[in-house]
Structure 1
Amino acid sequence: MNYDEFTGTVQNRLELPGTGEAVRAIRATLTTLGERIQEGEATDLAGALPMEIDYYLTGAVADHGQHFDWDEFLDRVADREAQTAPDDRAGVAHHARSVLTVVAEATQEGQLDDLRDQLPADEGWDDLLELVDQPQAAGDGSD
């Protein structure tokens, strides 16, 4: 999957008006995820992504492997997306889940298993990968 396909897929899934909004959602989600997971896992996951996007995972502003909870994850993503209103939280979670679903489609099957192993087994983190575990609907253009 190339850059245009990746950003276009995110834009369509999130029904965003432009590429800029899609890139902002991608950057916010992957940068924050890159801060949460170990550097090696970030590098492995980034390897399957377009080079214009992989840096968001590997170039974490702070150190990789930080231990923060689901709420902090959403706070960081929301801040990076400039969505600070309290009612934006569900939208931010939806953006993060959708971005990770497109990442899963761009990677080899099973590659997200290592990611799953690095995240706590609780409701929030499970929600992040919820859409990844669901088969794509017929007619979504993935056939």
Structure 2
Amino acid sequence: MRGKTPLTSERKALKVDDNEFIGLVAKRSGTSSEQATAVTRATLTTLAERIDGGEARDLAGQLPEGLRAYAFGSGETAERFGLDVFLARVSGRADVDVTQAKDGVTTVFDVLREALTPEGYDDVVSQLPAEFGEVADPTAPFVQRTRG
């Protein structure tokens, strides 16, 4: 279960390059580097569609250089869709089933939480509906999930 430790502005963003970011996603999700890459890219692309253009640019600016292009949205206005559509888009883009997509998205958000400034992460998550708390909890530290 996730804890409820609040973020403070004292926490610094984790400095990683794109290979380290993908490596963290792969390790924490128990998947291959190839699948972690696909899910990370699909998550960032779908997230960029779901948040406002300015916020997508801010997100991209905090990402490792090799991942920035995936976080640029197609417009200034966010598309309004829920978690089910988000997961379906990630599933299709990454060529994984929806359960794998949800696990991957959760892991990507965990790594994003560490890689972005607290304010940057909070700005992104604040644009998502409450149901996204299933995959993106800004108050919880990383906890290794058991698969079963």
Q: Sort the TM-score into its range (normalised by shorter chain).
A: 0.7 to 0.9
Give the superposition deviation at 1:104. Answer: 1.4
Structure-2 residue corresponding to 1:76: 89
Q: Which runs of 5+ in 1 are unaligned?
A: 139-143
Structure 2 counterpart SS, 1:133: coil
Residues 1:10 and 2:13 aligned together: no
Give the structure-2-normalised TM-score: 0.78
Query: Which among 120, 127, 134 is matched to residue 127 of structure 1?
Result: 134
- Mapping 1:25-44, distance limit 5 Å: 25-44=39-58
Q: Which runs of 5+ in 2 are unaligned?
A: 1-15
Once residues 99 and 34 of structure 1 are traced to their aligned partners in structure 2, the CA distance between those partners, rounded to angstroms, is 14
User: Percentage identity across aligned positions?
Assistant: 36
Give the superposition deviation at 1:90. Answer: 2.4
Give the structure-1-normalised TM-score: 0.81
Structure-2 residue corresponding to 1:117: 126
Once residues 52 and 110 of structure 1 are traced to their aligned partners in structure 2, the CA distance between those partners, rounded to angstroms, is 22
**Paired positions, count:** 128
Pick the structure with more helix per residue: 1
Query: Which among 97, 109, 112 is matched to residue 100 of structure 1?
Result: 109
Aligned CA-pair RMSD: 1.8
**Taking CA–CA contacts closer than 8 Å with sequence separation of 6 or more, which of the two structures ends up with the larger relative contact order?**
2
Alignment CA distance shift 1:81-1:135 (3 Å): same
Structure 2 counterpart SS, 1:47: helix
Once residues 47 and 143 of structure 2 are traced to their aligned partners in structure 1, the CA distance between those partners, rounded to angstroms, is 26
4+ runs of 1 displaced by more than 4 Å? none
